[in-house]
């Protein structure tokens, strides 16, 4: 997605946070921060991502240079900052709070056309962002151009078009992926795939049955826009943590999400 340069100030931050969203439905953007902090899905995904960051990071005792693509308001930064110095780029100005303490480190711009950055990043995160970008090749080529020799990219995306729903449309998705299609996209952009696997395997059957048995309407968004009651939220969070532990050890044949770790090709 592209951001009109007129909506940016000279520092690359949001000049008008009340403007329309460039990425997703404005109502959804408005509650995204609360969703991230409370919902079982985002809480479990954060743990999954941090596992792969810790496993594949190659900064050897020094502070890493980290770029979080599609960072929102720096939702995951509290957990990333022990690893190194974090900056972000976010195309949806509604997700960046005007009074955010991290605002001076967030560039509000289209990722593929953002300001020049060096090929010296130790870690580039793209967490459920690629599916929002029409020209995925341009975005992934830029990821490749940002990674240092030992840099790593961690990328998550939604999986399986059979699970496509109005939530995807509300969120501004262009596609869902298979392991093969994601690997192909990554390698075509000049990235070396170190690992790619499904996770959230336990959610595939419930989501598929919902597509078969229930007519899609606005009510299905409530599952994602608002965390369920605390006992249900905790149960789903625990199921997801078990799922992620298992799928890291035994690759699943399917899942509602994919995670990939990449490096720059020599």
Number of CB atoms found within 10 A of residue 2's CB? 12
User: Which of 27-36, 195-204, 225-234 holds the top average pLDDT?
Assistant: 195-204
Residue with the bigger pLDDT between 23 and 122: it is 122
Dihedral angle of Cα 84, 146, 255, 224, to the nearest 10 degrees: 70
Beta bridge partners of 64: 84
- Supply the pLDDT for residue 216: 53
Residue with the bigger pLDDT between 18 and 110: it is 110
**Residues 197, 251: contact at Cβ < 8 Å?**
yes
- Supply the pLDDT for residue 93: 87
Q: Please tell me what DSSP assigns to residue 16.
A: -
- Supply the pLDDT for residue 199: 98
SS3 per-residue string spanning 42-61: HHHHHHHHHHHHHHHCCCCC
Domain 5-264 class, CATH top level: alpha beta
Q: Which of 172, 6, 24, 36 is nearest to 92 (CA)?
A: 24
CA distances from 181 to 121, 128, 192, 197, 208 (A): 26, 15, 14, 12, 20
Average pLDDT, the chain: 87
- Supply the pLDDT for residue 27: 53
Residue with the bigger pLDDT between 84 and 1: it is 84
Handedness of CA 230, 231, 236, 238 (dihedral sign): positive
Residue with the bigger pLDDT between 159 and 10: it is 159
Q: Which of 36, 48, 42, 38 is nearest to 244 (CA)?
A: 48
Query: What are the boundaries of each domain within the chain?
Result: 5-264
Beta bridge partners of 87: 67
pLDDT tens readout for residues 1-45: 333 333 334 334 333 433 444 455 555 555 777 888 999 999 999
């Amino acid at each position: 997605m592209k951001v009109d340069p007129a909506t940016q100030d000279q520092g690359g931050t949001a000049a008008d946070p009340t403007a329309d969203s460039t990425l997703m439905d404005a109502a959804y953007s408005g509650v995204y921060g609360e969703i991230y902090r409370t919902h079982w899905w985002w809480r479990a995904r954060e743990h999954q991502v941090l596992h792969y960051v810790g496993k594949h990071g190659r900064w050897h005792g020094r502070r890493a240079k980290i770029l979080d693509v599609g960072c929102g308001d720096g939702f995951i930064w509290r957990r990333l900052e022990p690893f190194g110095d974090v900056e972000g780029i976010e195309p949806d100005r509604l997700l960046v709070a005007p009074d955010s303490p991290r605002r001076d480190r967030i560039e509000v711009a289209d990722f593929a056309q953002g300001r020049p950055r060096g090929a010296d990043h130790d870690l580039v995160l793209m967490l459920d962002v690629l599916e929002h970008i029409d020209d995925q090749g341009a975005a992934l080529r830029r990821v490749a151009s940002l990674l240092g020799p030992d840099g790593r990219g961690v990328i998550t995306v939604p999986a399986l078009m059979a699970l496509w729903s109005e939530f995807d449309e509300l969120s501004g998705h262009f596609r869902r992926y298979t392991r093969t299609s994601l690997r192909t996209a990554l390698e075509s952009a000049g990235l070396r795939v170190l690992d790619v696997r499904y996770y959230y395997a336990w959610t595939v059957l419930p989501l598929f049955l919902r597509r078969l048995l229930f007519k899609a309407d606005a009510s299905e968004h409530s599952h994602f826009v608002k965390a369920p009651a605390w006992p249900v939220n905790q149960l789903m969070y625990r199921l997801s943590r078990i799922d992620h532990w298992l799928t890291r050890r035994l690759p699943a044949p399917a899942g509602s999400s994919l995670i990939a770790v990449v490096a720059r090709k020599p």
